[in-house]
């Protein structure tokens, strides 16, 4: 069929043509966004899930919702080797410049910009092209303690937003890459704006360990946030994610072909997009058949193996690769750390640092004490295809 009209869009953070099975998460976010704008308290959210389940897509959609209700928004991706302050500073400056155009918020915006200048100075943030035109305010956001100073900034931005009849929604992807002190500072800042009833919301997304990391950073985080789980789609939603885009193009897919795609992908959104994309291209004409899906399988797996899986495996050292291959030898997981140690013929305690490094790289996580699992769905199958005899 016409490849130009192919509706499927496999890619990192790329929004699929049909956002199936996520209505509850989006509705909860929509309500929170409207409540905070109306001056009513609402919990911020942390979206938790494995790689390829669509967390970034949901964050982007939530940002769209926030913008549609009049919020100012800031979206950042937490990298592994940059400071949070360097990412937040230009975003906070941008929001305040937007709010400064509202006459009723002028005084509050100037106060916030003065605090931001203090914040930038104490944390040695490069101003770059951002000019202030205001003097720093002594005693505000200038202690050098990130928890105190970020809370001061969030309060000042919240006050400016409130004066403008607006709100601020901060969205951070890959939260697991924040340092503990940075995550703690975000939690404290959101807690402080909640206490003052200011229109500030936070939506984060990250790997499943974020809930535990948040609790370790600040014990009250479990009450401050809700933690929606973003998992593989149930069968009906997975079917809809494939069938509806095809129907929207005026084409058809046979039920057996649909079933084959859902089974092959196990309902994971990224894999659904890849299999749908390849099945469309493999079909000479409508309807797409089970035989088309079978022909598409090799191309789909090749693309996943050379992209989605390989880029993550390539980040590991040889010793770390031995560790994850040993995991895959045990089956689909989760795995006991002691069983992995036994396969490697090493002491469990000696493997602790290696395990911690692989977790820090976002390849594995601990779903419960003593257990480990891959953060990448079906990663064990990739290892069996390419790295195990």
| Domain chopping of the chain, boundaries | 23-226, 233-312, 316-386
Confidence at residue 132, expressed as pLDDT on a 0 to 100 scale: 54
| Mean pLDDT estimate for the chain | 91
CATH number of 23-226: 3.40.50.300
CB atoms within 10 A of CB 29: 27
According to CATH, the topology of domain 233-312 is: Helicase, Ruva Protein; domain 3 (1.10.8)
Measured distance CA(388)–CA(106) in Å, rounded: 64
pLDDT beneath 50: ranges in the chain: none
Q: What residues does 373 pair with on adjacent strands?
A: 365
Confidence at residue 328, expressed as pLDDT on a 0 to 100 scale: 95
Q: Kindly tell me the burial class for residue 338, based on how many C-beta atoms sit within 10 Å of its own C-beta (0-12, 13-18, 19 or more).
A: exposed
Write out the two tokens for 27: 């509705």
Measured distance CA(238)–CA(217) in Å, rounded: 36
Q: Which contacts (CB < 8 Å, 24+ apart) does range 334-341 have? A: 334/367, 334/368, 334/371, 334/372, 334/373, 335/371, 335/372, 335/373, 336/370, 336/371, 336/372, 337/370, 337/371, 337/372, 338/370, 340/372
Q: What is the pTM of this model?
A: 0.90
Confidence at residue 286, expressed as pLDDT on a 0 to 100 scale: 92
For domain 316-386, which CATH number applies: 1.10.10.10, 3.30.70.100, 1.20.1070.10, 3.90.1170.50?
A: 1.10.10.10
Confidence at residue 389, expressed as pLDDT on a 0 to 100 scale: 63
Confidence at residue 212, expressed as pLDDT on a 0 to 100 scale: 76
| Conformational region of residue 54, where left means phi above 0, alpha means psi within -120 to 50, and beta covers everything else | left
Confidence at residue 46, expressed as pLDDT on a 0 to 100 scale: 93
Q: Kindly tell me the burial class for residue 369, based on how many C-beta atoms sit within 10 Å of its own C-beta (0-12, 13-18, 19 or more).
A: exposed
**Over the stretch 50-104, which tens digit does the pLDDT of each residue have?**
998 999 999 999 999 999 999 999 999 988 788 999 999 999 999 999 999 999 9
């Amino acid at each position: 069929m016409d490849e130009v009209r192919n509706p499927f869009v496999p890619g990192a953070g790329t929004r699929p043509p049909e956002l199936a099975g996520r209505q509850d998460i989006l509705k909860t976010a929509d309500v929170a966004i409207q409540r905070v704008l109306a001056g009513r308290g609402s919990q911020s959210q942390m979206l938790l899930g494995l790689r390829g389940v669509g967390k970034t897509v949901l964050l982007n959609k939530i940002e769209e919702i926030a913008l549609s209700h009049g919020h100012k928004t800031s979206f950042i991706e937490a990298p592994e080797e940059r400071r949070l302050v360097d990412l937040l500073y230009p975003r906070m400056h941008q929001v305040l410049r937007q709010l400064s155009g509202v006459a009723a918020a002028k005084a509050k915006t100037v106060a916030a910009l003065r605090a931001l200048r203090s914040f930038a100075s104490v944390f040695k943030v490069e101003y770059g092209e951002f000019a202030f035109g205001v003097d720093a305010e002594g005693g505000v956001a200038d202690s050098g303690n990130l928890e105190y100073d970020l809370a001061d900034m969030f309060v000042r931005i919240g006050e400016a937003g409130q004066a403008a009849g607006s709100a601020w929604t901060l969205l951070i992807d890959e939260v697991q890459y924040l340092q503990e002190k940075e995550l703690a500072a975000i939690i404290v800042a959101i807690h402080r704006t909640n206490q003052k009833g200011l229109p500030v919301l936070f939506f984060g997304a990250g790997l499943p360990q974020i809930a535990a990391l948040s609790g370790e950073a600040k014990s009250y985080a479990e009450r401050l946030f809700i933690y929606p789980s973003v998992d593989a789609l149930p069968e009906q939603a997975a079917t809809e994610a494939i069938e509806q885009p095809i129907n929207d193009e005026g084409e058809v897919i046979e039920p057996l072909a649909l079933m084959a795609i859902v089974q092959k992908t196990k309902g994971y959104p990224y894999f659904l997009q890849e299999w749908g994309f390849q099945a469309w291209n493999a079909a000479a004409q409508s309807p797409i058949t089970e035989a088309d899906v079978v022909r598409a399988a090799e191309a789909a797996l090749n693309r996943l193996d050379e992209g989605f899986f390989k880029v993550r495996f390539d980040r590991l050292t040889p010793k770390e690769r031995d560790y994850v291959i040993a995991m895959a030898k045990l089956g689909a997981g989760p795995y006991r750390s002691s069983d992995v140690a036994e396969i490697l013929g090493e002491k469990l305690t000696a493997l602790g640092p290696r395990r911690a490094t692989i977790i820090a790289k976002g390849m594995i996580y601990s779903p419960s004490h003593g257990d480990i699992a891959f953060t990448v769905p079906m990663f064990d199958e990739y290892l069996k295809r390419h790295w195990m005899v």
